[in-house]
Structures are given as structure tokens and as C-alpha cells.
Chain A
């Protein structure tokens, strides 16, 4: 026998209570995992956004275009090292519900702007050679079963008509949360077929600066360059751009934090109370252990270990269950990337242990402080 045997025997004495306590940890940690993934899905883009990229849009609104001729002018602003541009296409694949973002891109420069996206060279070359070619992110490709060589038909909304593309490349992300739902094609194809206003006009520019610390300065210089022109610009770091996008959803972060805090406070009270009951029930036995020479510290650790084991098993299973469910969320809610990383899982388990440790503190102290003589009179 070891101390572990003793702890295990104590956990088995009321199996239902032990299971329910573990379930409390489990459900709280399951929720933690889901909230964590939701937070990542909403704000992950903000954290991933490159500090060295700026987004230049029309000052009036994101939906207003900018002249293509600005590209060259932006490139000459000091501190700028690369420029690319894109247009929003807004096509529908078979059904409105099958949403994924489509960009008409400036093919020669777009790939270099996003080193986090990886495309096999020969696929990229094939894309460059095919005017009707397109590049699809692996999440979207997997969702609809697109493969290199397939033909994809989109129904235009902003640019009416039936648009046909050849899948020439599939890109993947280098980080878990990288957005691999996008669909890119040549802006030349868009201009050629849509004609009209889109000729010579782009939706937005993406700019790489030499020094991320001076990004704001460069942004101001770009906006100043086009001040008082017919198309004034608004330049923001990619991070701020993505964040302002997320802000439209309201303060979800606060909501997530509040829900999480309430759940864990409840967990703390419930498990603390359960553990206090377990200790009270066992007052006599704890007294007996003291007569055998167990020290106050021995008993403190014994009680703490008992709740920590429950926190570890229950919490661990809960957060693993969340990890199992999260990929399904990404499929159920297209356009959002849910992901639970290993550090997040680990910190979840640590959180469970922390809550367990605190919840067990008062019961453990009362076990340690127990007067033997008084405890024995209660046997």
C-alpha cells in the first residue's frame, strides 16, 4: 500500500459523489475548451495578423474601390517594401449557405505578401499559366471535395453571370488558425469578363512595411499622399483592420470572460462544499490517522490530493472532450476556424487543478487543524 492507495480508497467510498465531482470539473472544463476555441475563432485572426502588413481601403467605405494606379504610388512611399491588391468577388457556390470568401488577386505579388500560406511551386506555376485558374484553401477544398484539376462554377452576385474556374492549386496554412477558407483567382479574368467600373479599380491594397515599429508612420504617410484626391484612403495595420471587423460582433470577449468566470466560481463553491462534506463525514477516521502519527501536513496533503485527482481526471476528460468536438464546430459553422491547441489544453488542465486546489484548501485545513481528542469523541 502507498498513500496513493489510501487516496484511491477514499475516492471509491462514495463512487457517485466522486463521479459527480469529476463531472462538475468535466463539464466546466468542456465549456472552457469550447469558449477558448470560440475566442480563438473570433479573435485568432487579430492575433495572427502580421504586424508588418497594412491594409489600404477607400476612406468612404470598405465597399468603395480605389484606382489601380495607386499601387505604384504606394510602393514609392518610404518604408513600403511590397504592395499587392485584391477585389471582393462575392460569388455563390451552388447555394447561399456555402459561403467562402473569394478574392480576385494580383497574382504576381499576392503569394509573396502572405508567406504563412504554403503552395507547392508547380501548382502555383500552373495557376499563373491558366487565366481561369484558381487557388483554394485546404479547408474549403476539403469541405466541398475540390481537387486540383476540378472545374468549379460560381454564380456571380456583384458581377452577375456564371463563372467557371479550374482548380490549379491548393494552399495550406502554417499555423493552426490560419484562414484556409479563401478562394483566389486572377483579377485579369474579372476585368476581362465583368468590364465596367472594375476595370482599373481594386477593392483594397495590402502593403508590407520594412519596419513593423514604424507601421503607423507609414500608414499616415500613405493616407497623406492621397489626401484631397477623389479617392482618399484609410490605412490601418492588418491587426486593427481585423479587430475592427471583429468589433462589429459586439463585446463577445467580455461575454466569454464573464461566462467562464461564473462557471469556475460555481465549480469552486460546489466542489469545495462537497469536499468539506467528505471531510466532515470522516472526522473520526482522520482523528484515528492522527493517533497513528499522521501529521497535520500529512492530512492536509491527503485531502488536497483527493480533490486534485478528481480535478485532474474530470477536468482532463472535459477538456479532451472539447478538443474532440471543436473540429466539428469548424465544419458546422463555415467561415470560422475553431481550434484547441495543446498549450490551451494543458492550461485548461492546470486551471482545473488550480480550482481544485483552492476548493480543497478550507476542507484540507480543517482536517489538518482537527483536534484528535475531539474527533475521537465523535466516532
Chain B
């Protein structure tokens, strides 16, 4: 279930989230007392005009940035209270990011890019190899493991990025316009992949997008407007 009234008890609980940017005397109030609850296994799309704060919200949920006020509780842990290094370890364990610009490391092969987050775990070399291969197989790139990002198409790069995001089996995936830089066909492939991850593997996915057709693939769509979320479509609770 997804709720906006701040009453849920699910996996992700956001309470009274504020984010204010200051540049000199200029104050930009991006998020204003935002509430959100997402249960495990949900697939939620966020829409909203450019500059409405979608990326800001996703960064806060992923522990990449700190809110001006409010709390974010994931699986019982208030991440706004974690220190920088605790937060880094929390990210490694719980969050998989997928970005619009893929953000692969250009000097590493597809295999190495996917293996990167596993360097922070205690897994043995053989276990790491096994997991990386499984993740790449899942995104359909088992035959491109030795390729460098520049030798891959945009869609393939994004699939490597998804493999990197899921290889640690994180608690949830945060995708910020993952199809923004792709042509229609590649975009569909990526969306198919996300839907499959949600349906077949029960992944919790939060997706930011500008694209109506992308949003349609998610069971629940929310709108970010004037610093708070409103329901656009789907099964939002009371």
C-alpha cells in the first residue's frame, strides 16, 4: 500500500519532510511537509514539472542528501539520524540507484562495474563472480561482460546500471528518469525490465519520470506539486 496521510506502518515512512535550498538571499522551499508511506513490494512512479523537487526527494530517500526537517524511516531505521559513514554503509546495504545518465565508470568493464558495490561486502571472489553473472544474465547482457561502457549502446549501458543496482539485492530501487536519455525502444526494454523486477522478484521500486508512458507502467503514480505529493492514479490508501 502507498499512503500520503502520514499514517502508514510500511517499509518506507516519510514524515513532514522539508527541503530548503539557500543561494545567497534567495530561499527555495522545494519540499514542504511531505508525507509518504510505501510498503515493501510496491512500484511507485513520481511525476511533476521540472524543478518540482523529484530528484531532491529521491536523493533524500536514498540518503544522498539531508533534509532541512522531517524524518525518513526505512525498515525501522531513521536514516536522517545516521552519521555520514553509517549512511554510506546503509546505502550499500539497502539502496540501488539507477540514473538518467547511466553513470557507469568508463574505465571498468560491464562485469567490473556490476562488481563494484560487492567490493564493499565480505563475499569471496567466486561468490562475487556468481552474483555478477546472475545479475547480468537477468538484464540480458551475459554476453557483454567484458565490454567497456563506450562499447555498449545506451540501452545496454542502462541495463548494466540496473544490474549494478540489483546485484547487492537492496531493499529498494531508486530510479531517476532511467529512460530519459534513451530512444523509445530501449526505453520500453528498460521499463519491461523494471516491471519484471517488480512482478517476478517482488522488488520495491520508486521511479521518477517525465514520461506518461513510463508512468503508466507503474501501478501507482504520484504527483509532486508545490512541495507535497498528491495522488494521480492507482491504489493510494486513505
Contact = CB atoms under 8 A, between A and B. Distances in A.
Interface residues of B, number: 31
Interface in B91-123: 91-93, 95, 97, 99, 101, 103, 105-108, 111-112, 115-117, 119-120
Interface centre among A1, A295, A297 (most CB of B within 10 A): A1
A285 B105 CA distance: 6
A376 interface: yes
Contacts of A12: 107
Interface in B28-71: 56, 59, 62, 64-65
B164 interface: yes
B126 to A, nearest CB: 13
A293 B105 contact: no
A379 B128 CA distance: 28
Contacts of B103: 284-285, 288, 291, 376, 379
Contact of B88 (A5, A288, A293, A379): A293
A322 B86 CA distance: 48
B130 interface: no
A118 interface: no
Nearest to B103: A288
Contact of A9 (B64, B85, B101, B108): B108
Contact of A291 (B62, B84, B115): B62
Interface in B68-89: 84-85, 88-89
Contact of A379 (B85, B101, B111): B101
Contacts of B64: 290-291, 372-373, 376
A292 interface: yes
A2 interface: yes
Given A1-B119, A9-B108, A373-B64, A293 B93 contact: yes
Contacts of B91: 290-293
Contacts of B128: 1
A371 interface: yes
A288 B105 contact: yes
A290 B84 CA distance: 11
Contacts of B115: 1
A158 to B, nearest CB: 72
A294 B120 CA distance: 7
A289 B116 contact: yes
Given A2-B119, A293-B93, A379-B99, A373 B65 contact: yes
B75 to A, nearest CB: 16
Contacts of A293: 88-93, 95, 117, 120
Nearest to B104: A288
A239 to B, nearest CB: 56
Interface of A: 1-3, 5-6, 9-10, 12-13, 284-285, 288-298, 371-373, 376, 379
Interface of B: 56, 59, 62, 64-65, 84-85, 88-93, 95, 97, 99, 101, 103, 105-108, 111-112, 115-117, 119-120, 128, 164
24 contacts: A1-B108, A1-B111, A1-B112, A1-B115, A1-B116, A1-B119, A1-B128, A6-B108, A9-B112, A285-B103, A288-B99, A290-B64, A291-B95, A292-B117, A293-B90, A293-B93, A294-B88, A294-B120, A295-B85, A295-B89, A298-B120, A372-B59, A373-B56, A379-B103
Given A1-B112, A291-B62, A372-B65, 18 more contacts: A1-B108, A12-B107, A13-B107, A284-B103, A285-B103, A285-B106, A288-B99, A290-B88, A291-B95, A292-B97, A293-B90, A293-B93, A293-B95, A293-B120, A295-B89, A298-B88, A373-B56, A373-B59
